[in-house]
Amino acid sequence: MTGPPDQPFRSLSGMRDVLAPESSRRRALVGEFAAVAGSAGYEEVVLPLVEDLGVFRRVGEATDVVTKEMYDFVDKDGTRIALRPEMTAGAVRAFVQHRPTLPWKVWYAGSNFRHERPQKGRYRSFDQVGVEVLGVDDADLDVEVIALGWRFYQRLGLRRIRLLLNSLGEHEDRVRYTEAVRRHLHARRDELSEAALETLERNPLRVLDSKRREDRAVIADAPKVAEHLSEDAAAHFARVRAGLDSLGIPYTIEDRLVRGLDYYRRTTFEYVADALDAAQNAVGGGGRYDRLAEDLGGPPTDGIGFALGVDRILLACDAESVFPAPSADMDAFVVDLVGGAAARDLTHLLRDAGMSADRRFGGGSMKSQMKSADRSGARFALIVGDDELAVDEVTVRDLRSGGEQRRVHRDQLIDDLRTHL
């Protein structure tokens, strides 16, 4: 087919374009995260956007994320693959494949895809930053990981974040607890919503996550996981709490916190932003997992991690009026009043000297070019007019000191600007 479409193309539902200045804010956010994680000894891991479908199937057989929301398809060679709905599974798959020295402490940033019903704070393509640590079974590591996320929110300036904490116990504890919850829900099935009944068949613990009003009373009466913890799991949890207390990180024990994916054990946690609407206020979450490395073909290995939702964190920053987009800080903007080679060569001279420089193409009046210079955020406007050109000079106007200006010879220009920047 040729010719223009009837309607201009638009991005797909739930997928967004991010333009400046929001794009630089995102980049800055990832930079802050890299700094916080880097200073705690975490190294970046870059993972593929797609994995063998089996990688995700293995880790979340009974979850909505994997059974209903995944973008999966058959590749040209017949392999069933999926766009990643989260990054833990890929990170552990990478661990199993490369077997790096333990402990393996990594951070990541990237897009994930879930075919959800789009609304504010819930998108089909969304970004996460996160960490994973493999090979350490120590409650102090749980404290390190939880504190790292906390420190990151603090560093962005967010003050209305709450940490919710729970322990799901060991695998066997979880199995016993799941059975107790299943029995409880079954006994009161007449009171539950349709959706909860459906979830009950597949994954009873997930019903505890239901936000539907009909389900609330039944959920409130459900057995508590704390009553099903083994001695070891209870001791581990006590040490995590003591660590957080000692660091002065406030938390609430939330015994309904079961998290979406199947693989969690012992510590689970979530960060909630009170500045956001309750329906979409989870800005991050994570926990300990086991069996994940084994399920993906590796040796039994302890793991813990979290993923934080970049899109929602930025909404929370808006709501708390913190972490604005960094200001564009161009060094110079070339205003070309003569046309021809002079402005071109001057711009490149500046860039070659390591300065940031932009220019207007196609001329225009002095007034409109000065407007562009202002908009660019440049410190100096470098004006090239006929007078200047005749004597090989440039007019340097300081845009941040009320328009003070001076004439400088081209040969001295770089040195001159350097002393003023």
Q: Where on the chain is the footprint of ligand AMP (CB under 6 A)?
A: 86, 114, 116, 122-123, 126, 128, 260, 282-285, 307, 309, 311-312
Up-side HSE of residue 106: CA atoms within 13 Å toward CB? 21
Min separation Cβ 248 and ligand AMP, Å: 23
Strands (E), 84-237: 104-113, 125-134, 161-167
Rounded to whole angstroms, the Cα distance separating 149 from 283 reads: 10
Tokens standing for 363? 């001329």
Q: Which is nearer to ligand AMP, 285 or 303 (CB)?
A: 285
CA 235 to each of CA 166, 223, 245, 421: distance values in angstroms, whole numbers, following the listed order: 13, 20, 15, 57
CB closer to ligand AMP out of 64 and 336: 64
- Decide the pairing of beta strands 43-44 and 380-384: unpaired
Q: How far is the CB of 240 from ligand AMP (least distance, A)?
A: 19
Contact 189, 288 (CB under 8 A): no
- The answer to whether the CB of 308 falls within 8 A of the CB of 318 is no
State the nearest-atom distance from the C-beta of 209 to ligand AMP, in Å: 10
Beta pairing, strands 405-409 & 393-398: antiparallel
| Element containing residue 271 per DSSP (H, E) | strand 264-273
How many Cα neighbours within 13 Å face the side chain of 24?
Answer: 8
Residue number with CB closer to ligand AMP (104 or 123):
123
* Minimum CB distance to ligand AMP smaller for 68 or for 400: 68
3-state class (DSSP) for residue 99: coil
Minimum distance from residue 260 beta carbon to ligand AMP (Å) = 5
Tokens describing residue 353: 């000297």
Query: Among residues 163 and 381, whose Cβ is nearest to ligand AMP?
Result: 163
CA distance 261 to 270: 13
Provide Rg for the chain, Cα atoms. 28
| Comparison of 219 and 308: residue with beta carbon closer to ligand AMP | 308
CB 362 within 8 A of CB 379: no
Report, in Å, the least distance between residue 306 CB and ligand AMP: 8
**Distance of closest approach, residue 148 Cβ to ligand AMP, in angstroms:** 15
Nearer to ligand AMP, 86 or 331 (CB): 86
The least distance separating ligand AMP from the CB of residue 298, rounded to whole angstroms, comes to 21
Nearer to ligand AMP, 110 or 284 (CB): 284
Closest CB 395 distance from ligand AMP, rounded Å: 49
Q: Which residue is nearest to ligand AMP (CB)?
A: 309
